[in-house]
Amino acid sequence: MAVVEVRGLTKHFGDVVAVDGVDLQSEEGEFLVLLGPSGCGKTTLLRMIAGLEQPTEGEILLGGESVSGLPPRARKIAMVFQSYALYPHMTVANNIAFPLKAQGMDPSKRAAKVQWAAGLFDIDGLLHRRPRQLSGGERQRVALARALVREPTVFLLDEPLSNLDAKLRAAARDDLMEFQRRIGITTIYVTHDQVEAMGMGDRIAVMDHGKVRQLGTPEEVYHHPADVFVAQFLGSPPMNLLESMYYLFGFRPEQFLPEGIAESEGARVPFTFHVNRIEYLGSERYLYGHIREYEETKIIAMLPATVTLPIEVDQDHKFSVARDQLRFFDRDGGQRIPPQALNR
């Protein structure tokens, strides 16, 4: 039984369709990521699951039961906002105790739970501080402790790492992952950062303009994208996409290698790659240029540092891609065309 299930969920804000007929089912204990650019509807979707927005159409089921019409407090969910929303006029201890107080738990049991939650996140020493005295990382842990103290069935997070600076982000991500694995709670995580999504998600729902374009494991969405949008949203730098007469086809920069270097068996498709510019970044080299017969499109190749072959700028080079790494897409709809359906 899915912990969280969404059926035909739609949300209109006036004329704007923020979420458009989404069907989603989570699995028990999984870390599900809603990924997409701003405005794609991922946050709205999350807020509807939380009960902070009412759907225009569709149903939401938590633990198999419909929660339509129920306010957030009746849904047994926990949520962490991007800002962490720590109550500024309360101590850390009172922040964490807040949900328990709302339930009417008596003070002695409350204190024990607060201790337990604080212990989980290693913030016992901070219980008497106020939010304004905490660092970004500490605030996140308080927010998590507060979320977990009720032992909810679902855990919703809305871009909780965006407010941290880059250095802290990696450590915070690590913390988050470790704790989710330990507790095993079903988590839905919203982000626009595809690196985060790939690193953290058990499954990723890639969204755009209110629709889920693809739902799959990181491997699936990366190597077998359902359409052009998914193909180009994941991967940095994005997939190279070329337009031929009958279809679009693409390959990822790291799959575009100089002839002779690639070690795969199986057929390789050759290209003549004219390199315009090289960026040397230490662990890899990015080669910018274009391919013969597709001069308008900018192509990027990524060579790891282990490939030491010297590449000259303003010259043509022989490059190739493994045939089974090529991805084909319909010219009009952008949908992926499975290889058998091609008539080359």
Partner 1 sequence: MTWQDTDVQALQRSAERRRRLGRISVYTAAIAFAFLAAFPFTWALVSMFKQSNDLYVKDNSPFWFNEVPTLKHLGFLFTDTNYLTFIRNSVIVGLAVTAITLALALPVAYALARLRLRWGERLGIAIFLVYLIPPTLLFIPMTRVITNLGLQESLWSLILVYPTITIPISAWLLMGFFKGIPMDLEEQAMVDGHSRIGAIARVVLPLMVPGIIAVVVFAFTLSAHEFIYALAFNKSSAVKTIATGVPTELVRGDVFFWQSLQGAVILIAVPIALIFNAFLDRFISGFTMGAVKG
Partner 2 sequence: MTSTRAPRNRYLSDNPRFLAGLFMAPAVIYIVALVGFPFVLAIIYAFTNISTGNPELNFVGWDTFRRVLDDPVFREALWNTFLFAVIANLLVVVLATALAEVLTKDFKGKWLVRFLVLLPWVAPVSLATITWLWTLDSIFSPIDWVLRQLGLITENVYWLGRPGLAMSSVIAVQTWRIVPLAAVIVMAGLIAIPGEINDAVAVDGAGPWRRLFQVTMPLLAPIIAVAVLFGVILTISDMSVVFVLTRGGPTNSTQVLSTWAFIKGIEGGALGQGAAVALFLLPVLIGITAVVLRLARRREVL
Which pair of structure tokens corresponds to residue 278?
A: 């090289």
Question: At 115, is the secondary structure helix, strand, or coil?
Answer: helix
8 binding partner (options partner 2, partner 1, none; Cβ < 5 to 8 Å by kind) = partner 2
- Distance of closest approach, residue 64 Cβ to partner 1, in angstroms: 21
| Residues 53, 72: Cα–Cα separation, whole Å | 10
- Distance of closest approach, residue 48 Cβ to partner 2, in angstroms: 9
| Residues 254, 283: Cα–Cα separation, whole Å | 13
Residue 56 within binding range of partner 2, rule CB under 8 A: yes
Between residues 64 and 282, which has the closer beta carbon with respect to partner 2?
A: 64
DSSP E strand stretches across 198-341: 203-208, 211-216, 240-243, 247-251, 257-258, 268-280, 284-291, 294-304, 315-322, 327-330, 336-337
Show the binding pattern over residues 132-151: x = contacts partner 1 (CB under 8 A), - = does not. --------------x---x-
Residues 68 to 97 in contact with partner 2, rule: CB under 8 A:
68-71, 74
Q: Of 3, 40, 67, 78, which lies in the binding site for partner 1, with binding defined by CB under 8 A?
A: 78
Show the binding pattern over residues 4-33: x = contacts partner 2 (CB under 8 A), - = does not. ---xx-x----------x------------
| Residues 337, 266: Cα–Cα separation, whole Å | 21
* SS percent in the chain: helix, strand, coil, step 5: 30, 35, 35
CA 341, distance to chain mean position in Å, is 30
- For strands 57-62 and 31-35, give the pairing: unpaired
114 binding partner (options partner 2, partner 1, none; Cβ < 5 to 8 Å by kind) = none
Q: Of 71, 125, 304, 338, which lies in the binding site for partner 1, with binding defined by CB under 8 A?
A: 71
Residue 72 within binding range of partner 1, rule CB under 8 A: yes
Residue 70 within binding range of partner 1, rule CB under 8 A: no
DSSP string, 233-270: HSSSSPPEEEE-SSEEEEE-GGG-EETTT----S-EEE
Residue 333 within binding range of partner 2, rule CB under 8 A: no
Q: Of 98, 155, 271, 273, which lies in the binding site for partner 1, with binding defined by CB under 8 A?
A: 98
CB-count exposure of residue 213 (10 Å: 0-12, 13-18, 19+): buried
Q: Of 54, 66, 68, 103, which lies in the binding site for partner 1, with binding defined by CB under 8 A?
A: 103
Q: Which residues bind partner 1 (CB under 8 A)?
A: 50-52, 71-73, 77-79, 81-83, 85, 87-89, 98-99, 102-103, 146, 150
